[in-house]
Amino acid sequence: MKNLFFLLITMILLPLHIAAHEMRPAYLHIKQVDENTYNVFWKIPRRGDMVLRLHPVFPESDNLRELTIPKVMEGAMLYSYSLTTQSPLEGQNLTIDGLQKTMIDVLVNVDYLNGEKVSFMLKPDEPEKVIPGRISTFQVIKSYTVLGVEHIWFGIDHLLFVLALIIITKGFKKIVKTITAFTIAHSITLSMAVLGFANLPGPPVEAVIALSIIFLAVEIVKNINGQETITSKKTWLVAFTFGLLHGFGFAGALAEVGLPQSDIPLALAFFNIGVEIGQIAFVVVVLAVIRGLALKKDWPVILKKVPAYAIGSIAAFWTIERIAGFWI
């Protein structure tokens, strides 16, 4: 049923650039400290020593003064500025110079002195917007739903894990049960981590997530060889167990962009909903491809194993890379 699909997936996976979470959004936090002064915190994604050349441009950018030296963070650079203006930022244009040349979004949070907080998104095809004085609940919902969808679609390791679950699970009902268990599990730990009830350090979590993909790749091979394992018997249980860990990975990504303090529950809920929308879309596409290409049944066993080897090899590279990153 899935044999031709196995070959297609292998062709997709082999040339895949073996990295994950490269496309996390940039984050701009503007905090008003008095009538004409704002603290500006600008976080840009980086990959190794490569940092995207993006710069926020304000109406009075000549008055933008660097407060501290740039701080190197895991997967990002953080810049701190002080902005002095002659007139309020509300109603003025904000531009991210260079954004149109990238594939990432920018989440902007503004905290006003009167307690008002606004959030909005800037995109490569829309690198400029008027800074609002207050923003609707709908805009918060829209911004964080989009963030959730983008995170799962650009989170290659999470998608690879879901793909492995689909390959190893037999039958549509069991696939639904398995994906539901994974969803419930990562929703639990995502919420607990963001709300401060539980926390795990990011680098070890990312390394173990890669190991979870290797585990599933090995289980796929055993399944093809006719061996019955705990994964083949109760895939939903394995999905739930590892899903708890993946939730901490989602929480780490959300922590990088931040949440509007006045709308934390709302933003968290719709980030999670966005993740699920993106995940469901991926599952639907994969199942459609499986059904559309399930034409030939008698493929050699070795060819059936190739996708598992490809998935496992990519995950093994991530594991080594992430463990090595503990000491870098």
In a domain, residue 141? The reply is: no
Domain limit, last residue, from 136, 165, 190: 136
In a domain, residue 50? The reply is: yes
In a domain, residue 108? The reply is: yes
Range of the domain at 287: 3-21+155-327
In a domain, residue 147? The reply is: no
Q: What is the model's pTM?
A: 0.68
Measured at the alpha carbon of residue 21, what is the angle toward residues 76 and 250, in degrees to the nearest 5? 95
- The C-alpha atoms of residue 54 and residue 44 are separated, in whole angstroms, by 8
- Kindly state whether residues 52 and 122 are assigned to the same domain: yes
**pLDDT at residue 328, rounded to an integer:** 56
- Kindly state whether residues 75 and 108 are assigned to the same domain: yes
* Closest by Cα among 211, 208, 228 to 219: 228
- Kindly state whether residues 194 and 320 are assigned to the same domain: yes
- Kindly state whether residues 8 and 39 are assigned to the same domain: no
- Kindly state whether residues 89 and 180 are assigned to the same domain: no
Domain limit, last residue, from 80, 102, 136: 136
**pLDDT at residue 40, rounded to an integer:** 93
- Kindly state whether residues 225 and 254 are assigned to the same domain: yes
In a domain, residue 315? The reply is: yes
- Kindly state whether residues 314 and 175 are assigned to the same domain: yes
Q: Total domain count for the chain?
A: 2
- Kindly state whether residues 10 and 32 are assigned to the same domain: no
**pLDDT at residue 1, rounded to an integer:** 47
- Kindly state whether residues 49 and 101 are assigned to the same domain: yes
Low-confidence ranges of the chain (pLDDT < 70): 1-24, 48, 61, 74, 134-136, 256-262, 292-301, 327-328
In a domain, residue 142? The reply is: no
- Kindly state whether residues 217 and 309 are assigned to the same domain: yes
In a domain, residue 219? The reply is: yes
| Ranges of H-type helices in the chain | 3-13, 137-154, 156-168, 172-194, 202-224, 230-233, 235-257, 264-293, 301-324
- Kindly state whether residues 249 and 295 are assigned to the same domain: yes
Domain limit, last residue, from 92, 108, 136: 136
Render pLDDT for 221-262 as a digit per residue (tens, 0 to 9): 998 888 888 888 889 999 999 999 999 888 877 776 666 666
- Kindly state whether residues 206 and 307 are assigned to the same domain: yes
- The C-alpha atoms of residue 32 and residue 265 are separated, in whole angstroms, by 23
First to last CA, the chain: 45
**pLDDT at residue 262, rounded to an integer:** 64
Render pLDDT for 113-150 as a digit per residue (tens, 0 to 9): 877 777 888 988 889 988 887 666 777 788 888 888 88
Share of the chain above pLDDT 90, in %: 23
Report the 10 Å Cβ neighbour count for 227. 10
Give yes or no for a contact between 290 and 202, defined as CB atoms under 8 angstroms apart. Answer: no
**pLDDT at residue 10, rounded to an integer:** 47
CATH number of the domain to which 80 belongs? 2.60.40
**Across the strands, what pairs with 97?**
55
In a domain, residue 148? The reply is: no
**pLDDT at residue 286, rounded to an integer:** 87
